[in-house]
Amino acid sequence: MNHLTYHLCWAALVILAACGAPSAEASGSEATAPTKAARPTLTVATAANVQFAMEELIHEFQEQTGIGVSSVISSSGKLTAQIMEGAPYDILVSANMKYPQYLLEKDQAVGSVSVYAYGALVAWSMTEKNIRVTPEYLLEDGFTKIAIANPKNAPYGEQAINYLKYYGVFEGVEPMLVYGESIAQTNQYITSKAADVGLTAKSVVLSPEVKGQGRWLELPDSSYTPIEQGVVITRYGNERHARESLTFFTFLFSETAQKIFLKYGYKLPDQNATTQ
């Protein structure tokens, strides 16, 4: 049995057990169902590219389960550093597999890392400058600032660099690069026109908040390493909110969640694909 199958089976057992047994909050001989306020609130550390999809995911999850969820948005690297320093995050929804794996190696996460989606890169601009799928145009006159996420903390920034190197223009455009600490800050550079163009996540340009603004083009997925986005339950989540954390983890692979990921331009992985 692979790790994801184990998680799914265990989640089903704990949910059934919860439905059939008196709640911890019940007093006396008569059990009462826990209220939303009585349930612990999960805190999900969320990579910035997932910010808008996460809003819908949380809404649907709370409607289905009554479990309260809040999210903290930042780059995957910064969120991982915060977890290592003791931040009370129950789950890490990362933009790659490296950071969740790191938490496992450092005994700050449990179970396995599972790919919940594959992300895609786009070029996005609010200016009238002509953008194209391949980046040679960036070397033409008129382009002075190109926004990408900091590759040290943000996987999308790392893959933006790979895209530029793939077409052999990185050295030429490197002086023009401006780095956001996360995809969220990168998007601010783009929408404010502080940068002529930016390389960002497809999930952003498809979000209701910015859909239809500016012009964007999806970049060839052959020009960068596939962006495997991984999720893991933290040690804190397992110790403090084990059942609820596992329920949310499992929800991310449900049909409801998959439809939301597809809506935001993500590709879905094989549901049996896990990394130990």
Query: Could you tell me if residue 8 is inside a domain?
Result: yes
What's the total number of domains in the chain? 2
Q: Same domain, yes or no, for 57 and 109? A: yes
Tokens of 151: 């590759």
pLDDT of residue 40: 55
Q: Same domain, yes or no, for 70 and 151? A: no
Q: Same domain, yes or no, for 106 and 239? A: yes
Q: Same domain, yes or no, for 60 and 47? A: yes
CA–CA separation, 160 and 149 (whole Å): 8
Query: Could you tell me if residue 34 is inside a domain?
Result: no
CA–CA separation, 70 and 93 (whole Å): 13
Q: Same domain, yes or no, for 58 and 71? A: yes
**pLDDT tens for the chain, residues 1 to 276:** 444 444 444 444 333 333 333 333 333 333 333 344 435 589 999 999 999 999 999 999 999 999 999 999 999 999 999 999 999 999 999 999 999 999 999 999 999 999 999 999 999 999 999 999 999 999 987 899 999 999 999 999 999 999 999 999 999 999 999 999 999 999 999 999 999 999 999 999 999 999 999 999 999 999 999 899 999 999 999 999 999 999 999 999 999 999 999 999 999 986 434 443
CA–CA separation, 14 and 85 (whole Å): 30
| CB neighbour burial string for 92-126, b if at least 16 within 10 angstroms, e if fewer | bbbbbbbbbbbbbeeebbbbbbbbbbebbbbbbbb
pLDDT of residue 162: 98
Q: Same domain, yes or no, for 181 and 48? A: no
Q: Same domain, yes or no, for 214 and 130? A: yes
Query: Could you tell me if residue 58 is inside a domain?
Result: yes
- What angle is formed at CA 170 by the lines to CA 169 and CA 176, rounded to 5 degrees? 105
Query: Could you tell me if residue 161 is inside a domain?
Result: yes
pLDDT of residue 34: 39
pLDDT of residue 232: 98
pLDDT of residue 39: 55
pLDDT of residue 23: 31
Q: Same domain, yes or no, for 12 and 80? A: yes
Tokens of 170: 């990185």
Q: Same domain, yes or no, for 211 and 143? A: yes
Question: What is the domain-level CATH number for residue 248?
Answer: 3.40.190.10
What is the extent of the structural domain holding 63?
3-22+39-118+226-275
Q: Same domain, yes or no, for 193 and 170? A: yes
Q: Same domain, yes or no, for 104 and 232? A: yes
Query: Could you tell me if residue 30 is inside a domain?
Result: no
Q: Same domain, yes or no, for 139 and 206? A: yes
